[in-house]
A and B are shown apart, each in its own frame.
Chain A
Amino acid sequence: MSNQHQAPPKLASRLLDWFLNEEFAEEIAGDLEEKHYRLLSAGSKFKADKNYWFQVINYIRPFAIRRYNSKYSKATIMIKNYLFVAFRNLSKHKFHTSINILSLAIGIAACLVIYLFISDEKAFDSQHSRKDNLYRLCEIQSFPGTNTQKVALSMPGMGPTFLADFPEVKSYTRYFARRNWLWTKGDNRFKVDVTARVDSTFLKLFDFPLISGDRETVLNEPNNILVTEKLAKTIFGSIDIIGETLKLDDESFKIAGILENVPETSHMQFDIMMSMLSITRENPDFNSEFGSNYLNTYLELVPGANLSSMAEKYPEYLVRNTGNEEVNDYYKLFLQPLSEVHLNSMDIEHDYHNYRKFNGSYLEIFTLVGIFIIIIAAVNFMNLTTARSSARAKEVGVRKSVGAMRNQLFWQFVTESIVLALIALLFAVIIDVISVPFLNNLIGRTLSMLSLLDSTTVILAVIAMTLFLGVIAGLYPSIYLSSFKTVQVLKGIEKSGKKSIFRSSLIVTQFSMVLAMIVATLVVLQQLNFMKSKDIGFDKDHILLVDMNQTANDKFDVMKQELLKSSSVLGVTASGQRLGNNFHQWGFKAAVDTGIVNVTPSNVLVEFDYLDVYGIELIAGRGFSKDYAKDDGLAFVINESFAKELGYEDPIGQSVGHSWYPNDSLGTIIGVTKDFNFNSLHYKVNTLSMVVHSEWNYDEMSIKLSPENLQAGISDVERIWEEMVPGYPLTYSFLDEHFEELYTSDKQMSSVISIMAVLSILIGSLGLFGLSAISVERRIKEIGIRKVLGAQHSQLLVLISKNFAWLILISFLVAAPITYYFLAEWLDSYAFRVSLNPLMFVAGGLATFIIAMLTIAYHTLKASSTNPIKSLRYE
């Protein structure tokens, strides 16, 4: 009967044996086997086997399952015991425990902050329900004589024609925003930060909430406007103002809606919203206007629209609408998903309405840094626990000999590490609650630990991650410790004499990361410092920028004379655009041997004294002067790059002009300046032409103040402005502040990286500190004997430090090439950058080495200066 072939399936009966409660094991196994043979004798073996499996699986019921642990104890009692033992062990070894908790807490705290930062950045523009189908229309422009550039601008005619020509486009809105417009209420004037004109579809595409007003129709009237809650309160002191009017110049606009304040996490920021109808009513051709790019266009596509098949039709679309056969040589269109506008626009220029634009790739760096830190902290835990194994070996031995199972010991150690991780989490939260406000200050954010409480998923995820960390960190030590053989351990056979390759490689991993972070910090700081101190070719300090209106332009010359009378004012000039961005590109023509060439450099409208006030250096010719009548409109000062581009042997005196000048009445080049960085250092210096047109309006006045009397200078400017331009409030800023803003993203990244580097060193050192304590403790007898035999202090120091020193050297070899590669890639994103100096690596390595040696010095010094009597007394 019981031949092998006919026996029940082995796997199934094993499974049964494994889970069955012993109390029922005999009868059930018997029943099932009997059933099996009954079915066998009735026929098919397959049927019998199948049934056996069926029955086994159906015995997985609470009553039949083996009670875990033995019949003397219940699982809950054991867990209580694990917790009890864990707390006892943790409080018994306070030094070890506090190092562990501290390093884990710092690690978790750092990760939480990184999470807050990243989720704040990712929250940008995510409040719109149609966000997945919204795109911003962008262009890649490659005009002759200028660098190829991506721009966020588009032409007024593009929105309507996209809707008409592409079935994929469901709707569009244009966004045409202007800064510092003067709105009036009765006799009161208010300079409004951003006034945006948008199409009537705007509030359908974007979910900016309204406090009052009908979002469906409010933008359908040309004279309707919406104001934000904040502005309403500033102007009216109330938000109950529907139907009130505000005036712009002489035209009245009716307030037909109140917008909730624009959230911090929106790339568009505005205070007043007007309907695009206010333009098209007066200029119906606006909707078919092609030629200049000066506004933003947003498209809503149908779900699942195929972007690449749309892109194939752009060339034909452009030719048809612009009527220019060659338009595709200059323009390439592309759609940028709304979700990328905030984080993926660093290479996009003329991006004037992108609030707090941030370099999204930095978020990946932050994530990596967070992972590094948590690994460094987890390694500490593993190392310290396994290193202390000899101390706990006896405990394991005794427990085993009184009947502890291996898995019980395993769970005991895992419980210990979970308890530790949870305590660390508690500390981490406390650390963050205290430190986040300081951090906000440093990096200009409004991060809040409370935002973690908004979603239970996040809370659960944080706790789950902590538990996971506890398990992962405790896994290896638990397996290792619970594997000790009872007899060996109790007999006192030391296992620890062997070097632990595992532990060493963990230290190498840890210190490679520490090293990478130190070197990265050094290089990042070096690059920032470089950008701060690089000679950008003009003087940006103590320049006051004053916003100019029509009156200020009309009275510019008189005002300039008045201002120059003040002893605190060193120079006054004006320009059409502010330094620190790319300047607008206009068509430009130049006469060469073969005729006329058309190029498109950057252009800026300047006043006669511009070059002097800004201290821009000429390398040939002269600057603008009122003494020459032709200098007003017919004289051009170009930069070195543009001179090279034009290829004249001697550029001075060559015939050039704006593209709209007739070929027979061009102006001349009167001077060439050295290249100066009018754009941020992320970009190369573009070709540039400067021109004076005294009849055009300037945008901003630049007033150079004497550094000694800044305050006096400002009050002089205020006084004169008040006299000359009454009714238009003075708004000013400093140019150097504007330049600081250009590098905000970089600075914030470097702050975060520096903080994290310091933390990682701290955590790494804490680990080394603990490890060296353990290794010294273990070798205390060896040190004693060596001292008795005459070893010198210094010899002992070398002896103990040697191992750690080797590990750090190896870390350096591992970390240096990888770090080099990544840093080189990062630096690539700057047109002007420091070269990667190997010295930085050496410095980083040395710093790590010195910190490590100092960390372990405490214990080595203590050990080597102990009287050998103390350590040898007991043997």
Chain B
Amino acid sequence: MSENRLGELEEVLMLIVGILEEKAYALNITEEYEAQADRKVAIGAVHTTLNRLEKKGFLTSEMGGATAERGGRRKRIYSITASGHRALANVRDFRLTLWKQFPAFAEGKLKFVLA
């Protein structure tokens, strides 16, 4: 996988990080993903991906927010970096270009219900 491309899961997780803002830590991200994608996933699997994204420089993290229900341990809060934003925008632009070239869609023959 190229260093500055985003995989499907990576893309989705980045978006969730963006949605959750300061509540974006591994557990929350996992639960949000499970809720939105309606798929079960291990925290470890999500964490691996987050860790990888951080290495690629799309995410950054800092420790903070210890609470009692986690035995006084701190969480790692993730946030999107500038290059992360760029990568997300690239993916989105790329998709839109493709959709626009899709004749059935452009001519309105395909109906999408947009929620």
Contact = CB atoms under 8 A, between A and B. Distances in A.
Contacts of A31: 25-27, 43, 47, 70, 75
Contacts of B66: 30
Contacts, number: 72
Interface in A26-62: 26-35, 37-38, 54-55, 58-61
A64 B74 CA distance: 17
B89 interface: no
Given A2-B71, A31-B26, 18 more contacts: A1-B68, A27-B26, A27-B73, A28-B26, A28-B47, A30-B74, A31-B27, A31-B47, A34-B67, A35-B43, A37-B69, A55-B44, A58-B43, A58-B45, A59-B44, A61-B44, A61-B47, A64-B47
Interface of A: 1-2, 24, 26-35, 37-38, 54-55, 58-61, 63-64
B27 A35 contact: yes
A815 to B, nearest CB: 58
Contact of A1 (B44, B63, B69): B69
A31 B44 CA distance: 10
A33 to B, nearest CB: 5
B113 interface: no
Nearest to A25: B73
* 4 cross-chain pairs, A with B, having the tightest CB-CB distances, nearest first: A30-B73, A58-B42, A58-B44, A30-B70
Contacts of B42: 54-55, 58-59
A27 B25 contact: yes
B98 to A, nearest CB: 33
Interface in B28-83: 42-45, 47-48, 51-52, 63, 66-71, 73-76
Interface of B: 25-27, 42-45, 47-48, 51-52, 63, 66-71, 73-76
30 contacts: A1-B68, A1-B69, A24-B47, A26-B74, A27-B26, A27-B76, A28-B43, A29-B70, A29-B71, A30-B70, A30-B74, A31-B26, A32-B43, A33-B70, A33-B71, A34-B27, A34-B69, A34-B70, A35-B27, A37-B69, A38-B69, A55-B43, A58-B43, A58-B45, A59-B43, A59-B47, A61-B44, A61-B48, A64-B44, A64-B47
Contacts of A29: 70-71, 73
Contacts of A28: 26, 43, 47
A49 to B, nearest CB: 15
Contacts of B51: 63
Q: Of B42, B45, B70, which is in contact with the most chain A CB atoms at under 10 Å from its CB?
A: B70
A217 to B, nearest CB: 64
A27 B75 contact: yes
Nearest to A30: B73
Contacts of A60: 44
Interface centre among A29, A30, A58 (most CB of B within 10 A): A30
A802 to B, nearest CB: 64
B73 to A, nearest CB: 3
Contacts of B47: 24, 28, 31, 59, 61, 63-64
Contacts of A34: 27, 67, 69-70
Nearest to B61: A27
Nearest to A62: B48
